[in-house]
Structure 1
Amino acid sequence: MASTAQEHQLDSLPYYDTPLPELQPVINSLIAVELRNLLPKTPSSNPTNLSHLSPPRPLPSPDAHPLLASELARVESKRPLKTGEGLDTTRYAMPFPSEDEQDSVEAWERAYRSSLAQLEHQRLRTMNGTLLQQFGANKWRVENFALENAIKRVEGEGEEVKGVVEDVNRRRKADQEKAGETLNRLEKRWTELVSGTLQLEIGCGVLEEELVGLRARHAELQQRLAASAQ
């Protein structure tokens, strides 16, 4: 574990040791800075991963169309549909002139035009059903085949990325364990050197005390010699 306050750098070995308590605030601040760099910029002080999305479109106002407004008002009042309101279902039926209109050319022309419309509608339905029967299954098979290939490709890419991540983590773990062994060896050597230095300091202190005693003894002997010579 090493930290340089001047350069705001932090080297952590999560596979080898745990952060020191005094470094935890520094780690949290670095994580916060990294998150602010990753998330999109927003005017808010608390960015989120959804703030960069455009706001949803507002719903259309019921007053934008008179038919919609009148229908909503009818539903809210629970008023049933009157005759002639809502969808005209007569065009989906085969009309037949009533007894009073049996001799009316216009009534028979309306019935004829409605019959033509019904026949055209049935012809289109039959054609669409035939096309769906001929090409629909193959179209679904092609779409499913393309979708399966896309899924396999994405899964393969995911497995490749997962393998790369696992390989990086294995190499990081091996490097950190190797660095941990080096740190242990250096720490042990440092402990030995510090212990040797302490022993030397203790030995030097003992020698200094002996030297002080010897100097005092030497001075005492010199004083005795000078006294005897007189």
Structure 2
Amino acid sequence: MASTSQEHQLDSLPYYDTPLPELQPVINSLIAVELRSLLPKTPSSNPTNLSHLPPPRPLPSPDEHPLLASELARVESKRAPRTGEGLDTARYAMPFPSEDEQDSVEAWERAYRSSLAQLEHQRLRTMNGTLLQQFGANKWRVENFALENAIKRVEGEGEEVKGVVEDVNRRRKADQEKAGETLNRLEKRWTELVSGTLQLEIGCGVLEEELVGLRARHAELQQRLAASAQ
């Protein structure tokens, strides 16, 4: 039973009742109140039905990250990145000393160090590729197996909850249909009693009219007897 601001008392048997048009606004208002309690009040707030989940991780603040702040300012101003602001691709190239630096030992040392760094990078990539080829398949199988088990567990829990919900709905339907049969029987009995009462009232009215007529006839006869006696 639910009470509303319009002081309506609702005894709902949805598996038995026929919706009444005059109560539809009240029903809609109750649904709206329930939805407002579930949905977030503001875009930044969390829905109450997700309160059991951990809160989301906060986004990084530009005040704590100067690089992020400068990049956001550049994007907001729609300014194209200047030279040196984007990704540094020079480290992935194989530089050679320019013609003016062909005789510079320092230039050749820089090129040599860059070559060593890139060779080391390629060696690491090759090693990672070899390790991935050797162990990656098994790792993916293990991860997939764990994910499949998690999916099966969640699906099983979902089916269990679904079964509980269906069982509750079946019991609700059975209880409401039983209550509906009782209401039908009581309504039929009430109709019979009301009909009997109306018939009694009609019969009483007829008898009262007959009684009035008999009393008038009796008075008339008494007057005649009195007149004949004189």
TM-score, normalised via structure 1 length: 0.70
Q: Which residue of 2 aligns with 1:93?
A: 93
Deviation at 1:156, TM superposition (A): 0.9
Offset at residue 143 of structure 1 (A): 1.2
- Aligned partners of 1:16 and 1:180 also within 8 Å: yes
Measured after TM superposition, the shift of residue 208 of structure 1 is 0.7
Rounded Cα–Cα distance in structure 1 between residues aligned with 2:217 and 2:145:
106
Structure 1 contact 62–69 (Cα < 8 Å) conserved: yes
In 1, the alpha carbon distance for the partners of 2:218 and 2:7 equals 59
| Percentage identity across paired residues of the two chains | 97
Distance 1:125 1:15, change over 3 A: same
Q: What are structure 1's unaligned runs of at least 5 residues?
A: none
Deviation at 1:166, TM superposition (A): 1.2
Q: 1:104 to 1:186 in 2, by over 3 A?
A: closer
**Whose RCO is larger (CA < 8 A, sep 6+)?**
2
Using the TM superposition, name which of 141-150 and 46-55 deviates more: 46-55
Cα distance, 1:197–1:108 mapped onto 2, change above 3 Å: closer
Q: Within 5 Å, give how 1:54-203 maps onto structure 2.
A: 92=92, 105-106=105-106, 109-110=109-110, 112-203=112-203
Cα deviation per residue 1:163-222 (whole Å; 9 max; x = unaligned)? 112111111111111111111111111111111111101111111111111211222222
**Worse overlay, 59-68 or 131-140:** 59-68
Contact 2:15/2:173 (8 A) holds in 1: yes
Distance 2:103 2:4 in 1: 106
Structure 2 spans left out of the alignment, 5+ residues: none
CA distance in 2, matches of 1:4, 1:68: 52
In the TM superposition, residue 91 of structure 1 has moved relative to its aligned partner by 5.7
Is the alpha carbon distance of 1:222 and 1:156 closer, same or farther for their aligned partners in structure 2, counting shifts above 3 Å? Answer: same
Change (3 A) 1:6 1:84: closer
Aligned residues: 230
Q: Secondary structure of 1:176's partner?
A: helix
Q: CA deviation at 1:118?
A: 3.7
Equivalent residue, structure 1, for 2:21: 21
* Residues 16 and 180, structure 2, Cα contact 8 Å, conserved in 1: yes
